[in-house]
Structure 1
Amino acid sequence: MPRQTTLETQADETAAPQPDRPRRRMTLRDLFYGLGFVVLLIAALTLGRPYLTPIAVAVLIWFLINALADALSFRAPALPRAVCTAAAMGVLLVGVLAVIQIVARNVGALTEGLAGVDERLLAAANQAMAAVGLAGPIDLEAILSGYDLEGVLTRVLSAARELVGGVALVFLYVMFLLVDQRYYEAKLRALAPDPERRAWLRATLKHIADETRAYLWLMTLISLGVGVATGLTLWVFGVAGAAFWGFLAFGLNFIPTIGSILGVAIPCVYALLQFEDPSRLLVLIPVLAAIQFTAGEVVLPRVMGDRLNLSGFVILLLLVVWGAMWGPAGMFLAIPITVILMIVFSQFPRTRPIALALSRSGRLAEPLDPVEDRR
């Protein structure tokens, strides 16, 4: 009996839960290495801007094409995937050509809308100078003589050449991404020979791709609605180049907060220069602000749900950081890239705290369970 009691006691001690091992505390060396990694990453992104920006744009366009192809496949299941992808590319190409045509047609209208504004501005400036006792009227020719028009034209042509080259490079990247995507399954088998791990990795990648496509697709539809509503409003108020301002509102809507402010401010400044009676702006500004508020605070949260679960402070910080690294293109790409990173970070235990820190509500969807996914 004593022997049995001793064995039972040993078994109970073996079966008893062991206390949790204390977590390793962050040391000063860990903090130093972490800050160094962040600094090196920012430096690499800044220096690689000419090469990384076209790649990021191409990846987002690739996601958007696949989202359009998925929508066509859902509507017409009998169509092959290649046909749906080609149709999606055709739709996107038609949209780009339509945008180019809209901009080209409205350039002349924008110029005509400001006819005579230079004389009004000079007259107002001369009156203000006379009121404060400054001598000498302002002459338009004297102002233009201080600018190097040839240098300005050279810079404009250089920027146009870089834009054309960038568009061609993005097009090539997108084509190669579309061609190579049929080999992704074979690459996945080679990277993850274990069936269980491969099933989990396939489900995780599919979830990331589906969420990213849904975000880009819904954001494009919401921005399109904002652009159409803005263009129609400005057309009703008689603002020249209403279609151009609608397209500008469509593009700026991809930039949260700052894009909404600019989508109202820029066309209103133009309308102020065009209208001889500025009192019309008292109605125009609230209408445009209501469109942006409805899209950003009512439609976007209801449609997007948790896909844009970003803190407001984080959004502004991201716009500043990415804008400093990649310029205006970085501001357009900041939120889509961060949303993709949040989706990726939320799937892995080690990076999930980063996703929680970036989120607005502090709540994230649970990571995918490989067992449930196989079922």
Structure 2
Amino acid sequence: MKITLNTIFLGILTTIAMGAVLHILQPLFLPLVIAILLSFVLSPLVTHFHKRIPRVLAVLLVIGILMVGLYAIGWFFYTRITSFVSVIGYYQDRFDIIISDIVIRYKLPSDILEVLQLSASLRSGLYNISISFVNFAGQLIIVVFFIVFMLLENPLSERKMKMAFPKESVQIRFGTIIRTISTQIARYLTIKLGISITTGFLVSLSLYFIGLDFYLMWGFLAILFNFIPNIGSTIIMVATILMSFIQFYPVWNPILAALIVMPLIQMILGNFLDPKLQGNQLDLSPVIILISLVFWGWIWGITGMFLAVPLAETIKIICANIDALKPVSILMSSGKSLKQVSPKNSDIEKDETENTENTEETP
């Protein structure tokens, strides 16, 4: 028991120390982690093009597609956010008028206007998002260099593993870890990207028909924040409903439409379609996801929250393939796989139950 407690406390202290190191060395580790995750997604595309052209050209083609896509996203993000910030004072004035009307009508405390400063909150949030986006853009060259060399060299190839680990059992275990991480992360990011794009499209389309200003910006933010589980979609949902209230009050039909449509989109795509497509592949506990969001958000800010789920899944897979850390993997899982009891175990439990009942019936 003493050894176990010492091990637990040592693990906690090690985690805190590693978190502090990762926080301090963020400019070095963050581009590397982003490059590794992107390489998992881009590797199948490189393999597809490599069937027709040399690998070097395939890698350059994929990197070119990536750069064009990132440039388009950056340009769209900059223009929409800038336009919104330029008129945020108008929405603040509208918000103050609405709150004043509500305060007079319902006889609320007059100092509530000082508490509800919409423009300051929105500007602060948009400023933090912009800073994270600019920091990522500044590190983009480093990320691209990492991706290019990873895709060209394939540092974890089967030939290198055989040379590095002569023992066959170690080769098999190490290969299993790499393949599982690559498959799981690529699958998660691909499905999440598809669901996020669908969410952004439906949000933009719904807000367009409702008549909300800057509907394309909200659709883009819905795509972006959908990668932050639960919290991101909730932020966008609350923000769009609040903006519809500010824009349309005292006309309630569009406000009620936003109040119904936005939660409906998040519920169908986030709570039904996403788990349906992911299946049991992403076997992470909701508590672990929340802890991971807090932990990586503390280390790397908003960018860390976007990376929280892939990093948590990677840690769980590594722990699952190391005997000493298997209990950690079980604790990180959602428990769905543990509910499946084998027929043999079921028979044993049934026999034990019958024996207990027979013993109780015996006088």
- AA aligned to 1:93 is M
Structure-2-length-normalised TM-score: 0.75
Contact (CA 8 Å) 1:227, 1:246: kept in 2 or not?
yes
Of 31, 38, 48, the residue aligned with 2:25 is 48
Q: Which residue of 2 aligns with 1:346?
A: 320
Go from structure 1 to structure 2 and tell me whether the alpha carbon gap of 1:114 and 1:161 turns closer, same or farther (over 3 Å shift). closer
Structure-1-length-normalised TM-score: 0.73
Higher alpha-carbon deviation: 114-123 or 252-261: 114-123
Name structure 2 gaps, 5 residues minimum.
120-126, 339-363
CA distance in 2, matches of 1:45, 1:359: 24
Q: Which residue of 2 aligns with 1:98?
A: 72
Q: Which residue of 1 aligns with 2:341?
A: none
Go from structure 1 to structure 2 and tell me whether the alpha carbon gap of 1:261 and 1:161 turns closer, same or farther (over 3 Å shift). closer
Contact (CA 8 Å) 2:161, 2:171: kept in 1 or not?
yes
Q: Which residue of 2 aligns with 1:36?
A: 13
Q: Which residue of 2 aligns with 1:167?
A: 140
CA distance in 2, matches of 1:177, 1:95: 20
SS in structure 2 of the partner of residue 308 of structure 1? coil
Contact (CA 8 Å) 2:132, 2:302: kept in 1 or not?
no
Q: Tell me whether 1:264 sits opposite 2:241 in the alignment.
A: no
CA distance in 2, matches of 1:226, 1:92: 22
CA offsets 1:316-345 (integer angstroms, 9 cap, x no match)? 122112212221111111111111222222
Contact (CA 8 Å) 1:67, 1:217: kept in 2 or not?
no
SS in structure 2 of the partner of residue 306 of structure 1? coil
Contact (CA 8 Å) 2:240, 2:258: kept in 1 or not?
no
- AA aligned to 2:3 is M
Alpha-carbon shift at residue 46 of structure 1 (Å): 2.7
Alpha-carbon shift at residue 191 of structure 1 (Å): 0.9
- AA aligned to 1:289 is P
Name structure 1 gaps, 5 residues minimum.
1-23, 139-143, 145-153, 365-375
CA offsets 1:41-80 (integer angstroms, 9 cap, x no match)? 232233233322222112111212114445x46xx95565
SS in structure 1 of the partner of residue 334 of structure 2? coil
CA distance in 2, matches of 1:107, 1:37: 40
Q: Tell me whether 1:193 sits opposite 2:171 in the alignment.
A: no
Matching of residues 1-375 of structure 1 within 5 Å = 26-69=3-46, 72=48, 78=52, 81-82=55-56, 84-107=58-81, 110=84, 116-124=90-98, 162-181=135-154, 184-195=157-168, 197-277=170-250, 279=252, 280-363=254-337
SS in structure 1 of the partner of residue 195 of structure 2? helix
SS in structure 2 of the partner of residue 45 of structure 1? helix
Go from structure 1 to structure 2 and tell me whether the alpha carbon gap of 1:68 and 1:284 turns closer, same or farther (over 3 Å shift). farther
Higher alpha-carbon deviation: 288-297 or 185-194: 185-194
Contact (CA 8 Å) 2:55, 2:152: kept in 1 or not?
no
Contact (CA 8 Å) 2:283, 2:333: kept in 1 or not?
yes
Q: Give identity over the alignment, percent.
A: 24
CA distance in 2, matches of 1:326, 1:355: 24
CA distance in 2, matches of 1:269, 1:37: 43
- AA aligned to 1:39 is I
CA distance in 1, matches of 2:56, 2:19: 38
CA distance in 2, matches of 1:28, 1:183: 35
Go from structure 1 to structure 2 and tell me whether the alpha carbon gap of 1:52 and 1:299 turns closer, same or farther (over 3 Å shift). same
Contact (CA 8 Å) 2:320, 2:326: kept in 1 or not?
yes
- AA aligned to 1:62 is S
CA distance in 1, matches of 2:6, 2:77: 54
- AA aligned to 1:265 is V
Contact (CA 8 Å) 1:342, 1:355: kept in 2 or not?
yes
